[in-house]
Amino acid sequence: MRLAIKRRASRGQRPGPDEKRARDMEKARPQWGNPLQFVFACISYAVGLGNVWRFPYLCQMYGGGSFLVPYLIMLIVEGMPLLYLELAVGQRMRQGSIGAWRTISPYLSGVGVASVVVSFFLSMYYNVINAWGFWYLFHSFQDPLPWSVCPLNSNRTGYDEECEKASSTQYFWYRKTLNISPSIQENGGVQWEPALCLTLAWLMVYLCILRGTESTGKVVYFTALMPYCVLIIYLVRGLTLHGATNGLMYMFTPKMEQLANPKAWINAATQIFFSLGLGFGSLIAFASYNEPSNDCQKHAVIVSVINSSTSIFASIVTFSIYGFKATFNYENCLNKVILLLTNSFDLEDGFLTASNLEEVKDYLASTYPNKYSEVFPHIRNCSLESELNTDPGSIPAPTW
């Protein structure tokens, strides 16, 4: 459109009505208050569950530090170029995703429509997660926390049977938060309290975008900086937990054989798309509110580096807590084995420890073979490595 206007002007012709309308719309396009607001908006959009949840999960699945190699390569090969391309398209066209693709070619309008549809579905399920956040926030003002203990049964003579079969955290999640139905054929009805939290989440979104860049430009200062404040608090707490170093050593000890795994490279490429939010059309819309002279190349590099650094930083926080969990399960397993052997062979309390456990087991197996063979099926094989290698996604939901 701009080229058509320039050609008419060079030929001494007046611009047509469509060209005038396009020029007027360009002049009336809102803009960010300053370049920092735009950068913060991109960071707020990019940094999220993909950094704090999915990236540490992929690191745990594909060999800890070795996953960083395909991840950083994909960041340079696909992440930065595509982010720069989307920012450049939005800033040059100064339109949303549908308008920008239509301007490039009318045949590409479907690409813009598809990106809007994908963003719509993404917002639908992401806001459900925000609703869960409000749900847990409101329930956290209790002592003790409702997910830390099992509730009493109807007779108040003991704990709820469902909760005892699973755990207090799983019971609160599946029974109190979701109130999950036995099967997909039973809808279970509307859960009104979580529904109100979802309404509150959508209300917060509406207030953030009520006045366009004027309101969003102020909100991004909070949404961009708040996650880092929370991560720093979690980092300090995580590093003070018993066994945190085991998790960090697991993270930064690469398993180089995973570099030959094609799934590691595929998931690294997918993670770049998911984390930076490429292909959703949102970055095009953000950049459309920039000044035409804005250095979007520099901003693409800044956002990419900050986003990937946040993923690594969040992984340190996550693996410190993950190391504590694995160490706790490992030591709990050892204590159960020690208690079993102490009671079965009438050993002196304190004689059997984690350091001499294997030696004593060999001695008991050779000295009392018949009795040890009876106890052996009940002896668990405790291993810190196996606890660290446990895939969190393989833990099934309880069947009630």
Whole domain around residue 296: which residue ranges?
A: 31-332
Task: Give 221-233 pLDDT, tens digit per residue.
Answer: 998 999 999 999 9
In the numeric block, the tokens 């920039």 are attached to: 290
Q: Mean pLDDT lowest for which of 20-34, 83-97, 288-302, 356-370? A: 20-34
Average pLDDT score, the chain: 85
pLDDT given at position 268: 93
Helix residue spans in the chain (DSSP H): 2-10, 17-28, 35-46, 49, 55-61, 68-74, 80-93, 97-104, 109-139, 161-165, 168-171, 192-208, 213-239, 244-252, 262-276, 282-287, 296-344, 357-367, 369-375, 384-389
What is the three-class DSSP state of 152?
strand
| Domain annotation covers residue 345 | no
Total domains present in the chain: 1
What integer is the mean pLDDT of 162-170? 83
CA distance to 328, 333, 379, 383, per residue, from 352 (Å): 19, 14, 14, 17
| Domain annotation covers residue 15 | no
Distance CA 195, CA 134 (A): 11
Task: Give 246-277 pLDDT, tens digit per residue.
Answer: 999 988 888 888 888 999 999 999 999 888 98
Q: Mean pLDDT lowest for which of 181-185, 234-238, 320-324? A: 181-185
| Domain annotation covers residue 285 | yes
| Domain annotation covers residue 145 | yes
pLDDT given at position 267: 92
| Domain annotation covers residue 160 | yes
| Domain annotation covers residue 91 | yes
| Domain annotation covers residue 281 | yes
For the cut 60, the answer to whether the pLDDT of residue 21 exceeds it is no
| Domain annotation covers residue 3 | no
Task: Give 30-62 pLDDT, tens digit per residue.
Answer: 889 899 999 999 999 998 888 888 898 898 888
